[in-house]
Amino acid sequence: MDGIIPLYKERGMTSNDCVFKVRRILHMKKVGHSGTLDPNVDGVLPICIGQATKVVDQLVHSGKVYTGEITLGLSTTTEDLDGEVVEEQRLAEPISTEKIKETLASFLGDSIQIPPMFSAVKVNGRRLYDYARAGDPVERPQRKITITQFDLQGEPEFDAKTGRQTFRFIAGCSKGTYIRTLAVDFGRKLGLPAVMSDLTRLKSGGIQIGSCVTLAQLAEAADNGQLADILIPLDHVFEENVKIALDDDQWAKILNGVFLTFPEQTEEILALTYEGHIKALYQVANAKQHLYRPYKMYLQNQGTH
């Protein structure tokens, strides 16, 4: 069985916990997730099984959408509420709604982000959180990110007793973006400590949270022989690619990794289908000759049934 499970990851478990539980439910070893969610974050976590594990990279590189909350007035070691408070600063008065919207908009477009110390990013073979826990110094790598949306949701709330202000947001971003760090950088632009105080992933790999299932629902579907109703075909990942239906002769050549010519095509990547399913991605090798070479192969892809 091949396909993508649109899983809703509940809070309190890691992404790897989800993979382990899916393996037990489906009695399969070929299972992988596409994009880590922290234990205190819930939302969309696409789980790939069978042949679909070959498209994890494509899913990881897709854009993501989140909704969450930023609290102004304190910062922590982990940039979320799981860490120890390292700075507090009471707000004498709330930041205006207009100023919040203006600051959010300033993040739109391309920028460079430094991932948080408490993250799974590897430096010299070690996770950053290992350096952080050991107290070892390390230079964190810079990452280019793209923010496509960063909007205020609802009205900000100000607590005069604590001197803290919270507001909810919706953010669209590229692969590798840490929303926790966006929250901290937001506060920095206002000269205030800040923390991400809530986060839910609404969309990943083209999958919306409304179409997701819980682990309990997945187990029930497996028991009732209804997994095919849940699984999203591997082909979903390539909905925006130009597709070429192969004839029998071309399919035989694909099986042997032969270069192919598609005279009328100019796309960088073509999705090649046979008997209704994507079997390979071919990449341009010689644009003038319209010659394409093997790029990614999914020869065993038979859909979700």
CB 300 within 8 A of CB 275: no
Residue 171: strand pairing partners: 66, 150
Nearest to 148 by CA among 44, 237, 35, 66: 66
What is the residue range of 166's domain?
64-204
Q: Which residue, 233, 252, 286, sits at the end of a domain?
A: 233
How many structural domains is the chain composed of? Answer: 3
Residue 303 is assigned to a structural domain of this protein = no
Residue 31: strand pairing partners: 49
Known catalytic residues are 38
Residue appearing with tokens 């390292």: 86
* Res 31: pLDDT: 94
The CATH number for 90's domain is: 3.30.2350.10
Global pTM? 0.86
Residue appearing with tokens 């993040």: 107
Residues 178 and 101 in one domain: yes
Residues 108 and 191 in one domain: yes
In the chain, which residues have pLDDT < 50? 305
- Tokens (6 digits) for 99: 């100023």
CB 292 within 8 A of CB 282: yes
* Res 304: pLDDT: 54
CA 245, CA 118: separation in Å to the nearest integer?
47
Q: Which residue, 190, 215, 233, sits at the end of a domain?
A: 233
Residues 49 and 144 in one domain: no
